[in-house]
Chain A
Amino acid sequence: MTSEPPVISCRNAWKIFGPDPKGYLRTMPEGHSYDQIRADGYIAGVKDVSVDVAKGEMLVIMGLSGSGKSTLVRCFSRLHDITGGTIEVEGQDIMALSENDLIELRRSKMGMVFQSFGLLPHRTVLENVAFPLEMRGQDRHARRERALEVIKLVGLEGREDYFPRELSGGQQQRVGIARSLAIEPDIWFLDEPFSALDPLIRREMQDEFLRLQDMLGKTIVFITHDFDEALRLADRIAIMKDGAIEQCDTPDQIVLNPQTAYVRKFTEDIDKARVVHAGVLAAPVNGQAPEGEPVQGDMTILQLARQLVNDTRDHLPVTAKDGTLMGVLERRKALDVLLGDQ
């Protein structure tokens, strides 16, 4: 990653639900577990979380229901006020913002997509998409122009005057996406955007989403309970359990080196060859001089499967996109990943 400061920087954030969360957190003994907190009558929605999101990065927060992932993302946008710790957005402590500053931040920098879409039932597609623009007081003509532009971007042209109930689930979520993009946010929160859709549509929407992200290059925090979806989309994955982050790493590393038993359970049934890239598996050159045709570092082991099986060399050079040498791939190691007996 670059040395640019992170867009979102979260330090020891706590979110506790209960009668007097602040007082409880102050007097709570160090290292209290989730269950101990619950025994005291409190729920730890977010438990001592520290994580950074870099500019242009897609961080996927993965966890089962009740793991605190939705709570965490709502703390980032201050839909929830955190109980302890700090959250900075572009260097600004969001808990220190006044109501007006917060509104201004959301109007100019943040967009959010919701699991069950959160569309306003009494507004047409066009009016829903234009809603954030209307909130910030843009004139009718300008917001119509912009709304039409985003509607086109998500492929809903011709449906501008429909009401949400007249659309399918996938189309409704496209409206949700268009609405979140209308203000051209720098930070894009997506809370299980595709979970309410059936599997075929979900796949299609993921492709669509990747296409958009390629075009727009936003900083994204994406929530899902679907590990496959996380692997498919993420630059980095943060796996949450009981309000805390179990592991935060690239998909390759999560699959190759799960750090807790909980994370390992998720990775067990995953076809690792589809996730792991040649570049990640490559070892430093260390004076060796691998010969012959190099393999591309950004290809997955599965994509290289045929070549790996047929090649006779023990070591293959791995190059980055621009042709520079990244390292050496040990063929046996790659085949282990491919055959699943690592």
Chain B
Amino acid sequence: MADLAVSTPARDTAATQDRVLQVLLGAALVLCLAKPVLPDFLVRLPEAWIPPLAQWLDYFFNVIVIDTLHINQLTRWFAEGPLEFLLGATANLLEGKYRWPYLDDPLPWSSIAAVAAVIGYYLGGWKMSLLAGGTFVWTAVMGQWEITMETLSVLAVAAPLGFAIGLVTGIAAWKWKSFDNAIKPLLAVMQTLPFYTYLLPAVIFFKVGPTAGAIATTIYATPPMILMTTIGLKKVPPEIVEAGKMAGSTRWQMLTRVFIPSARTEILVGVNQVIMLCLAMVVLTAFIGMPGLGGKLLAMMNSFKLGRSFEIGITIVLVAIMLDQLSKAWVVKLPEHHERGTPWYIRHKYILLAVVVFVGFFGLAQVVEYFDEVGRRQSLSVGREMDKVIKWVLDIDLIQAITGGIRYVLNVWVLIPFRNALLWIPTSAFILLMVAFAWGVGGKRPAIYAAVFFTIIAFTGWWDRSVITLYSVISAVILSMFIGIPLGIFAARSAKWSRRMLIICDTAQTFPSFIYLLPAIMLFGVSDVTVVLSIVIFTTVPLTRYTIEGLRGVPPEMTEAADMSGATKRQKLLSVQLPLAMPTMAVGFNQAIMFAFFMVIIAAFIGTQDLGQELQRTLAGTDLGKNFVLGINVSLMALTFDMALTRWAAKRKEALGLG
């Protein structure tokens, strides 16, 4: 009885939903077919209708923010004062800039590598020790010490800053519901804004170079820290809270002695994300002239020196894995007790050991020059030789035939027709199609947002470029579905392969996105296909990952029930496992689309015709308004997908009763 009462209205709404979907799609189709006779404004908005948004924003920034409020004086003061001081200090220690604390020589690489090894051992035993120490030894002997330290010295300032800002904001969001509601949409936009949009304001308000780099990096890395802090604080068990209150804690004591320590795990996961995002971003700040690993890589790629690029790529990957693994080890590291009467040198053995190896290698470096600095001649870099090898391999006819074939087929048969088709669709029909998609997938709210967002995009006057951006994203994600999902299904068949594949995916996800351009450029040179393929490589990772997690997460009693019903493997997969894995796979799909939006913008420097290209151009000037409008366009498109897919995954999960 109760079931009937519930299901009837539900079925009614399902029917209405289908009808709305049909109407939307029908209207879009009519608009497409009637294109030749449509009034112009339904095909593309006429120039005259487009409000000069960028100029208004420029006015806002230039006249109000800068000339009237003098915000830039404050930010410049901050950039030239405390921030530059901090950056100068880390830079002096790590790579030898002449600033406080006025060491005439940077710290010897061997000392730093040795201390890293001790920290690694403390956090995770021999493996971590080897990873941490090894990474630094590799960078030193490959002759990349200085650029690595340039990157790390910015990271050493940006990551703690991001942590502190994120923690405080997260606490505020947890404490005041209204503040939480206010920053939520802001954070959603921030997490989808293309990184170029962070860069230009940073340059304008905080000077060129490391200061702007550090600021852009910090802002970019903060949102997940805020979210993790709020989540962690909300998750503190009520009994611990009550125990704190019954002990007569004041509010401050509650926060500092009860809530924050109890939320340690989530906060440290936030720290891990801050560090990883900082690394990803600090590499990208190469685009505003930040020296370091990213800058060198960009320069090498631009001059097509693939051997050196590859070596730097390895360094970036190693640094990423090291930072990720160490911070993750820190998350799970729990304090251990010492028996009473343990002497102090055992209690503090790790600190002691670190000091000893630091001083030891410092001394050694004064005597043996090699342990202080690896000279150009001494480095083991084989970049030039590798260049030759790579060029030789790429010159092999077979390889040329294969890559050429792939490029031709993709370009002529798939990508260009698809792109032209998307560009051919009238704006009005396109908006209707997006609304229909959001309606069909997510329901009413996402559909309304889709309508609003895409109408805004139409009115910004960057419609064609937005569509081209979208085309790259969609085609890349569809292509990567053909790779990622079968790969995931295959790996999910056995526990062993699932675990291996997940480790690979997790590791790959820590790489700064920049790295993914390397293989695509190596194989396909500089072309449209390269852009799509680099996105494909990047987005295959989350698709594979969540396919495995979805399939492995199917409750065993359900697969057992399928087995006992005499289902074949194929039947089991198609009618039991995949439907139940769909909500999780949708999360992966969503992540793939977000990654694609991120990557398509980076790939712009290869030479595309999308928003990324325009965005990159704005970096050269002071077009804050235009930069912002372009960034918002990307963000709005990404948010449309994000909302629809997240909503769908949540609804499905609820419907399937998979908590």
Contact = CB atoms under 8 A, between A and B. Distances in A.
Nearest to A131: B247
A147 to B, nearest CB: 13
A160 B361 CA distance: 40
Contacts of A179: 243, 247
A194 to B, nearest CB: 15
Nearest to A116: B239
A38 interface: no
A120 B261 contact: yes
B243 A112 contact: yes
A132 B248 contact: yes
B239 A120 contact: no
A104 interface: yes
Interface stretch (A161-169, A227-235, A318-326): A161-169
Given A122-B261, A135-B253, A112 B242 contact: yes
Given A161-B337, A163-B337, A106 B262 contact: no
Contact of A104 (B248, B253, B262, B336): B248
Given A120-B262, A135-B253, A161 B243 contact: no
B265 to A, nearest CB: 9
Interface in B242-294: 242-250, 253, 257-258, 261-262, 264
B339 interface: yes
B338 interface: yes
Contacts of A165: 334
B261 A118 contact: no
Contact of A161 (B247, B249, B262, B339): B339
A121 B262 contact: yes
B264 A135 contact: no
B246 A110 contact: yes
B242 A118 contact: yes
B237 A116 contact: yes
Given A103-B248, A112-B246, A115-B239, A163 B261 contact: no
B13 to A, nearest CB: 24
A161 B339 CA distance: 7
B340 interface: yes
A132 B247 contact: yes
B196 to A, nearest CB: 41
B206 to A, nearest CB: 37
Nearest to B261: A122
B335 interface: yes
Contacts of A162: 337
A146 to B, nearest CB: 14
Nearest to A112: B246
B284 to A, nearest CB: 36
Contacts of A110: 246
B455 to A, nearest CB: 37
Given A106-B245, A114-B239, A122-B264, 20 more contacts: A77-B246, A103-B248, A105-B248, A106-B248, A107-B248, A110-B246, A111-B246, A112-B243, A114-B243, A115-B239, A118-B239, A119-B243, A120-B240, A120-B258, A120-B261, A121-B262, A121-B264, A122-B335, A165-B334, A189-B246
- Kindly list the 7 A-B residue pairs having the minimum CB-CB distance in the complex, ordered from nearest: A107-B248, A118-B239, A118-B243, A132-B247, A161-B337, A106-B248, A112-B246
16 contacts: A74-B242, A103-B249, A103-B250, A104-B248, A107-B248, A120-B258, A120-B261, A122-B262, A122-B264, A132-B247, A134-B257, A135-B257, A136-B248, A163-B335, A163-B336, A166-B337
